[in-house]
Structure 1
Amino acid sequence: MRLIVNGDDFGFSPGQNLGILKAHREGILTSTTALANGAYLEEGLKEASRYPGLGIGVHLTLDLGKPVLSPQAVPSLVDEKGYFRKHPEHRKIDLDPGQLLLEWTAQIERIKSLGVTPTHLDGHHHLHLHRDVMGITLALAEKYDLPIRYLPLYHGEEERELIRKKKTQILHGLADFYHDAVSEDYFLHFRSNHDFQEEDVVELMCHPAYMDDIIYTGSSYNIHRVKELVILTSEAVQGALRNQNVQLGNVRDFRMNL
């Protein structure tokens, strides 16, 4: 089987960037998705350019930080201070779809303008497949010819059927290496603990990082990011995946197998 290990939130903070790059350089991480509005995006991508084997996609966001476009251009997306409004995952998202299309297009174009050829699309807090905005995600996937992350843990058959109708390539995502499940045991019995059915390629979502003030104060998921980094660079984990004949790669490597 083929496994993509993707570090989300690249560009969020110095510690996040350093953690993702170390997990790639010394561990099993093969891919990352970048926040176009991340304050530390440019410095992170400059360092990431040293690692051609690291795939880089776009981490679409509409609930973290400020938009790439001016708040005046996308007023339905922002609060009175110009920050993205919060959107609880299972509630209706009330916004102007035309404005979101403009903003998410701008996010993809910003990543491209910094010298990156994106490998795929996913979303912060998985909002890219929320039923109220999913059509926009699929339109962008078609426009840019990019696969999208699909998480069975969060998304049902209705969403999957819509994706199939658009003939968009799917990354079968795993979101269970998270919080209390962050341990070496997750990988030591990786193949026996997951029912992949007919999936030849799976993508594991993770957030390895060094702790810094931005992560500590800006994310409720903080300490576990440091633990993830330790595990993803563990020699025991790397050996276990080799012994289970798990082939590591990024989306570009496995695109023909999706």
Structure 2
Amino acid sequence: MAQTVIIRADDLGYSPGVNTGIAAAVAAGSVGCVSVLCVPGLWTEEGLASLAGRDVALGVHSCISNGRPAAGAAAVPALVNETGAFRSSRFYRSAEQDPVPPEQALAEIRAQVAWFTEHTSRRPDYLDIHAVPSKSLSTAAEQVAAEMGLPFLGFGIGETHAVGRANLRLHLPPSHTAPYDPWASLAGALDVAPEDTALVHVTHPGYVDAPLLRRSGLTENRAWEAEMLCSAELPDWLANRRARMTDLRAIL
């Protein structure tokens, strides 16, 4: 029996180059869901337009470290800097204690879900979280997902959770490392995933541009992932490992 793999493409809206990489991977048929940055100040509307006509699962990539709050700066004062933009992920990672007030995280995620619905005219297929290791953020996203009856895909790396009709196991490659081989990363995830689980393999396809260099520490490795996801060899490569790609919605 073939193992199920859902390849998740994160960060739609981060930059024009990221949008291009994700759109190319979706067009190649290798992406099972796309996580969307639903905040003002980024390139999300352009990213959504690049997927027009593509039938792919879309989720809210709950974000408090790029762009500006969907709820407005006044509603989430602890999450913004003096310009009203979100604080950087470096701020959250360097904090000794979780600096995210739970009520502000809830307000912002609800506003991001509303932003998504307004710009797509549909409900999201799932929620997850972007970049920030905050328990308050994760708990808030999980609460909003539960309120809406949606899956939450922000659980810990390597944990197995019952979601829909399947058990899901999340794998996030160490893609900040160099040199980075996305094929080896995916092979390693398949090697350790239990046969009775569906592997959610998190990727960040994209192409390097100035906005990405200005904002992110994850740069050229996105291009390596885009190349893999656009490769005509990927389906056969997976089949040789007794695995097959599918859309997230197929197992919910």
What letter corresponds to residue 147 of structure 2 in structure 1? K
2:93 maps to 1:108: no
Aligned pairs (5 A) from 1:1-258: 1-37=3-39, 39-52=42-55, 54-85=56-87, 86-88=91-93, 91-115=96-120, 116-125=122-131, 127=133, 130-153=134-157, 171-176=168-173, 178=175, 179-180=177-178, 181-187=180-186, 191=190, 193=191, 195-197=192-194, 199-255=196-252
Deviations 1:207-228 (A, max 9, x none): 1112211112221110111111
Q: Which structure 1 residue ranges, 4+ long, deviate > 6 Å from structure 2?
A: none
Identity %: 24
Shift of residue 186, structure 1, vs aligned partner: 3.7
Aligned equivalents of 1:172 and 1:98: distance in 2? Answer: 29
RMSD: 2.6
1:189 positional shift? 6.8
In structure 1, C-alpha distance between the alignment counterparts of 2:139 and 2:185, rounded to whole Å? 34
Q: Say whether the 8 Å CA contact 1:30–1:249 is kept in structure 2.
A: yes
Deviations 1:98-155 (A, max 9, x none): 222111100011111112431111111153xx333433222111111111224544x8
Alignment partner of 2:141: what SS?
Answer: helix
For residue 45 of structure 1, report the CA deviation from its aligned partner: 1.1
* Corresponding pairs, count: 241
Q: SS of the residue aligned with 2:242? A: coil
Q: Distance in 2 between matches of 1:199 and 1:92?
A: 37
Say if 2:181 and 2:224, in contact at 8 Å, map to a contact too: yes
Matched letter for residue 123 of structure 1 = I
User: Secondary structure of the residue that 1:235 maps to in structure 2?
Assistant: coil
In 2, the alpha carbon distance for the partners of 1:89 and 1:109 equals: 30
Give secondary structure in 1 for the equivalent of 2:39.
coil
- 2:65–2:132 CA contact under 8 A, matched in 1: no
The verdict on how the C-alpha distance between 1:139 and 1:84 changes in structure 2, with shifts beyond 3 A counting, is same
